[in-house]
Structure 1
Amino acid sequence: MSQDFVIDAFPRDDKGRGASRRLRREERKIPAIIYGGGKDATPISIWHNELKKALENEAIFSHILTINLNGKKESVIMKDLQRHPYKLLLTHADFQRVEQDQEIFVQVPVHLLNEETAPAIKTYGGVAFRLMTEVEIACLPKDLPEFLEIDLTDIEMDQVVHMSDLKLPEGVRIPALQHGEEHDQAIVSVSQPKGVKADEEADEAEGEGESEEGSEDKE
């Protein structure tokens, strides 16, 4: 993974809604917490705009991040991010400590390749319908991929790609697949838009009707 994310953090002693509001309003920071790794949870605060800027890169959700707390650095992943219900503001973040020899569970984005040039789409008028934009994987930190890919080049019309169809990097697994086929969720399907499909079916029915009428006239 080429991208490095380093987030400066500050100790946080005050707790409660009032303290959090003051933190956001007066210091332009948001409350956060670091937990896991066999250590006590550590309340921290981080710069609101710094995190907001980092979030412009989707890779932040599928990378090992570095929290710099008073010069002490910890490796973490972002596990939860809370936002204001209607303002463009972040309100809280949860970070989980990462141990290099322990498996982590992370939601990673799924990218579609060759969507514009795939024959089912370019030639036959299909559309790629995204049913999932990310998938939860499990792996050691060193094996964490930035994203997963689905190549649409050989996907046929009305085909559905499931989680089990994904090509996973070495050392990566999808936990949901261990719980049976019913958990093998669909990620993307390629088919014609409903309106187009309905028109074609109507045309076919009309054509069949005309053929039957022609046969009756001959009789």
Structure 2
Amino acid sequence: MSEHNISATSRKDEGKGASRRLRHAGLIPAVIYGGEAAPQSIQLEHEKTWLASQHEWFYSSILDLNVDGKVQKVLLRDLQRHPFKQILMHIDFQRVDENKALRTAVPLHFVNEDKSPAGKSAEVVVTHELNEVVVECLPKDLPEFIEIDLSDLAVGAIVHLSDLKLPAGVSIPELKLGKEHDLAVVIAKHGKEEAEAAAPAAAEVPASKVTKKDQK
């Protein structure tokens, strides 16, 4: 598990007015919650945090959040963006207990698709049904992503959740709910099959009823 450091400072002013002032000053209002400690209001530098938010790890990894010189292990739980400006409006972080299992979404990375029998065929459409998966593990075992090697993907093949190779100590809670929860992750179909599945079935047009009035 890689280390990712984020710096912040504590704040006492709260409310919409205080948040607006922070944003005008190039800062982001945020809060840390969870664990045995009380929720804590903090602020982060917008420019540095914006750059961090462009990376995948910001959303799926455990972050070392340094608040006033004290480091806390946290996960990003919510991020509010401005509707059309490149501005982060508010962030929620959740404290992580290193001795307790956690559940969080982890991105899927697909590799070697172009080298596979399905990927080499111009007549085959390969679809990624999922781009992330919720895993359960101790914080120390949390992967930044799960890699799916598609080098052997055959035409007509389906890769399910149960086919994923997980790191030690990592499980997928969805699979504990039954076979019907073993979702498809990747599907390789002939383009013709894909088109037929997408096209609506031709409906039979019933013959119009002829009334006595029409026969006159």
- What TM-score range do you get, normalising by the shorter chain? 0.7 to 0.9
Partner-residue secondary structure (3-state), 2:162: helix
Q: Which amino acid aligns with 1:11?
A: S
Q: Report the Cα offset of residue 152 of structure 1.
A: 1.1
User: Structure 2 CA distance, aligned partners of 1:192 and 1:81?
Assistant: 39
User: Corresponding residue for 1:50?
Assistant: 48
- Residues 74 and 93 of structure 2 are in contact (CA less than 8 Å); yes or no, is this contact kept in structure 1? yes
Gapped regions of structure 1 (runs ≥ 5): 199-219
- Residues 125 and 194 of structure 2 are in contact (CA less than 8 Å); yes or no, is this contact kept in structure 1? no
User: Corresponding residue for 1:122?
Assistant: 120
User: Corresponding residue for 2:81?
Assistant: 83
Matched, 1:154 2:152: yes
* TM-score normalised by the chain length of structure 2: 0.84
Moved over 6 A (4+): none
User: Corresponding residue for 1:103?
Assistant: 101
Gapped regions of structure 2 (runs ≥ 5): 197-216
Give identity over the alignment, percent: 46
User: Corresponding residue for 1:70?
Assistant: 68
Q: Identify if the C-alpha distance between structure 1 residues 12 and 161 changes in structure 2 by more than 3 Å, giving closer, same or farther.
A: same
Matched, 1:22 2:21: yes
Partner-residue secondary structure (3-state), 1:101: coil
User: Corresponding residue for 2:32?
Assistant: 34
Deviations along 1:153-198, whole A, 9 cap, x unmatched? 2222222222122111110011122222232222221223358866
Structure 1 vs Structure 2 CA RMSD: 1.8
- Residues 174 and 182 of structure 2 are in contact (CA less than 8 Å); yes or no, is this contact kept in structure 1? yes
Larger mean CA deviation between 79-88 and 27-36 belongs to 79-88
Q: Identify if the C-alpha distance between structure 1 residues 175 and 125 changes in structure 2 by more than 3 Å, giving closer, same or farther.
A: same
Partner-residue secondary structure (3-state), 1:13: coil
Q: Report the Cα offset of residue 68 of structure 1.
A: 1.0
Q: Which amino acid aligns with 2:53?
A: L
Larger helix percent: 1
Question: Number of residue pairs matched?
Answer: 196
